[in-house]
Structure 1
Amino acid sequence: MIQAVVSAVVRHLVAATVVLGAGAGAHAAEKVIYMNDWLPGGDKAIPFYALEKGLFAAEGLDVTIQSARGSSEVVTRIATGTADVGSGGLAAFLQAKAQGDVPVTVVASAFPVQPDATFTVEGSGVTSLKDLVGKKVATATFTSSNVIWPLILANNGIDEKKITLIKVDPAALVPMLATGQVDATINWTTASPPFVRALNETGKKLKMLPWSEYGYDGYGYSVFASNKAIKERPEVVRKVVKAWLKAAQMALADPKDVARSMKVQFPEMDAKLVEEQFLTIVPLLDNAITKAEGLGTLEPKRLATTWEWTAKSQNIPLDKVDPEKTVDRSFLQ
């Protein structure tokens, strides 16, 4: 399945430019490279949905979507100029800012509720984070959740050294949990559908321990842009944000169309699974916070809380980064 999706991504990169060029005027369209933080799927569908629905083209943009293997890679790609915009976990971005003031800026939020969680199996004896002591836990090498892991344990009175953490390729997480190679995995709640299916095949049932239930607050998934793009092509960044937010609203209104859209772009995909994946992000996009403040907003207090979690988890002085200087809200207007 993963290999099929990767092959489809390669074809997609070629086709996207052709389609968008035809729809928006090949000579006038502004070329943009968008770096998604994971392989295509229902939970990562919004930029692809914007692409297929012609929202980028309507803004005069010729967008190529590429896939990274985690939020840290997204930030690196944007910082080094191999991508113009992208999306990923805010914690990984803030950590990168603290380490080297990378030339990247947050231009919109997507999830004002944290999606991080620990996955395990019903009946495994793991019913809370404290039960992970003495257990093996697998995590993707570059996931933004790794930034918060030490602190979520410390805040719940758990000694990090008493848990064996194994960093692997993200594609290995599902089979490792399903076959019992590890006792738990670190994932976003949005990654649950493939786990549910794989475990069902072995007569097992997935159990999720959302970190938000253990005190983890703040912004999760966010949209980033390179400082170079913001300085030299601010209108392009504004149009990307506009199309992204419009795609999110359209997707929330019609999850089945999201599945249809992804199936069109990636024929190898299982449309039912794509819809299941998308439905996992609905509570993260559509909740009391977004209803009150609006999708995409970056509320100062919540932003500061996100930085506090990040800083404390990595023993970074709080004054190392002013979170307000890492965002640009002008593209939301």
Structure 2
Amino acid sequence: MQANRTTALRLMLALVIGLAGGAWPAAAPLRAASDPLPPLAIQFTLDRPLDAAAAPFVMAAVGGLFSAEGLSVGTNIATGSADAIARVAGGASDFALVDINALIRFRDTPGAAPVKAVFVLFNQAPYAIIARKSRGIRGLSDIQGKTLGVAEGDLSIRLWPAVARQNGIQLGSVKQNSISAAVREPMLSAGQVEAVTGFSYLSAINLRDRGVPADDLAVLRFADYGCEAYGFAVIVSPRLAAAKPDAVKGFVRAVIGGTNLTLKDPARATTEVVSRMDGGSAELEQERLRAIIRDNILTGEVRRNGIGGVDPARFERSVDQLAEDFKFQKRPHVTDIFDESFLPPRDDRLIN
């Protein structure tokens, strides 16, 4: 009898402990093994207003590639790469598309969060000098003795010292005029400056929209004059990378798929982008996308090695070039900035 009472007391005690700990199986509905998990909510930041450069991400969403990876992706717009990086570093955003050279500079600031890039979209940076041939500039050497408009926060000018040195141009021979980004193209169009720095796929096409004839524009791409820099890259929150690496891999796979969809059907990609823009021009964005694919995404390096990665030796040379304008407290190396562990194998990154 005593044994029975002892057994009963033990059973009652186990029941009380189970309820207190939330372990009682009837306390919550069971999820069937076959039921899909709810999608993981992700915040993705673009460093500038939507245009054709974001086509791979738009196509990944339209094609259901994010949802196929179990991700629900919301997009927000930053005021530039520095702002986008700060959002990811502070945890307000999970991913962002930023200029990788801005990330390199950010990582050199004291106490910077260990944010890294996990996918490179622009294998070549879009940095360029855009000039008027009618003002006597047809090649890079013609820039000597001319006035160069440089917009506030412009990233191209950071690589200009290295490009100038490589091409025998004395920096002092080129007068720099600091201007607002809002008046960059109007000033060149009006002849108030003879050239401007900027992105080849932005300023050059914007100028044509302002009535400057295409055959009067000299687009001097830094990549054609020895600049080794990579361009836009996807960065990830260190918190998400550590806690949910599979989600990071899934996001990267979806972006690769979206890039392939963009390359296969640029016209549709343009339509999808323009439909999400406020007053976008299909003609301009299609021209912009063609330039991006040709000059920045589908390079010889990408055709050989697949999209998304970096060549370590080239990356180190690009940091050396950046150092001609920026004094590093501690010079970074490729593994400080880029984490290749989230990329699929090379064969899965080759452009079809």
Pairwise same-fold verdict (TM > 0.5): yes
Q: Which residue of 2 aligns with 1:280?
A: 291
Name the residue aligned to 2:74.
64
Which secondary structure does the structure 2 equivalent of 1:298 belong to?
A: coil
Larger displacement relative to structure 2 (36-45 or 115-124): 36-45
Decide which of 74, 78, 84 is 2:84's aligned counterpart: 74
Letter in 2 for 1:292: R
Instruction: Write the letter of the residue equivalent to 1:111.
Output: F
Alpha-carbon distance change, 71 to 250 in structure 1, aligned in 2, over 3 angstroms: same
Aligned length: 307
Per-residue CA deviation, residues 210-236 of structure 1 (Å, 9 max, x unaligned), is 112221124222211121221123222
- Considering fraction of residues, name the structure with more helix: 1
Q: 2:335 aligns with which of 319, 324, 327?
A: 324
How far does residue 282 in structure 1 lie from its aligned partner after superposition?
1.0
Aligned partner of 2:32 in structure 1 is none
SS, match of residue 230 in structure 1: helix
Q: Is it true that 1:227 corresponds to 2:238 in the alignment?
A: yes
Task: Describe the superposition over 1:214-264 as per-residue Cα deviations: whole angstroms up to 9, x where unpaired.
Answer: 211242222111212211232222222111111111100100011111133
- Structure 2 CA distance for aligned equivalents of residues 71 and 267 of structure 1: 21
Partner of 1:299: 311
Q: Could you tell me which amino acid in structure 2 is paired with residue 176 of structure 1?
A: M
TM-score (norm: length of structure 1): 0.83
User: What are the residue-to-residue correspondences of 1:111-130 with 2, within 5 Å?
Assistant: 111-130=122-141
Amino acid at match of 1:227: P
- CA pair 329-322 structure 1, distance change in 2 beyond 3 A: same
- Identity across aligned pairs (percent)? 24
Find the aligned partners of 2:115 and 2:124 in 1 and give their Cα distance.
22
Equivalent in the alignment of 1:163: 174
> Aligned partners of 1:226 and 1:93: how far apart in 2?
13
Supply the distance in 2 between the matched residues of 1:177 and 1:247 (Cα, whole angstroms): 35
- What SS is found at the alignment partner of 1:195? helix
Displacement of 1:40? 1.1
Residues 241-250 or 182-191, more deviating: 182-191
Question: CA RMSD, aligned part only?
Answer: 2.6
Q: 1:106 to 1:54 in 2, by over 3 A?
A: same
2:101 aligned counterpart, secondary structure: helix
- Which amino acid counterpart does residue 34 of structure 1 have in structure 2? F
Q: 1:183 to 1:81 in 2, by over 3 A?
A: farther
Worse-superposed segment, 112-121 or 232-241: 232-241
Alignment CA distance shift 1:273-1:295 (3 Å): same
Structure 1 residue 166 displacement after superposition: 4.1
The TM-score, its normalising length taken from structure 2, stands at 0.79
Match of residue 91, structure 1, among 95, 101, 126: 101
Partner of 2:8 in structure 1?
Answer: none
SS for the counterpart of 2:220 is strand
**CA–CA distance in structure 2, aligned partners of residues 155 and 314 of structure 1:** 17
Question: 1:149 aligned to 124, 135, 160, which one?
Answer: 160
Give the direction of change, closer, same or farther, for the CA distance of 1:314–1:288 in structure 2 (3 Å limit). same
Measured in 2, the distance between the counterparts of 1:136 and 1:198 equals: 21
Segments of structure 2 that go 5 or more residues without pairing to the other structure are 1-34, 345-352
| Greater mean deviation of Cα atoms: 170-179 or 239-248 | 170-179
Long gaps (5+) in structure 1: 1-24
Aligned-residue offset at 1:314: 1.2
2:323 maps to 311
CA drift at 1:168: 4.4
Q: Can you list the C-alpha shifts for 1:126-173, whole angstroms capped at 9, x where unaligned? A: 233343344332334334323212322233343434434344453432
The answer to whether the 8 A contact 1:95-1:310 is kept is no
Q: Determine helix, strand or coil for the equivalent of 1:258.
A: helix
Q: Which residue identity is paired with 2:328?
A: I
Distance 1:171 1:240 in 2: 34
Greater shift, 134-143 or 260-269, is seen at: 134-143
Deviation at 1:62, TM superposition (A): 2.0
Q: Which runs of 4+ in 1 moved over 6 A?
A: none
Question: Following the alignment from structure 2 to structure 1, what is the Cα–Cα distance between the partners of residues 198 and 281?
Answer: 21
Aligned to 1:10: none
Counterpart secondary structure, 1:180 = coil
CA contact (8 A) 1:71 1:143 kept: no
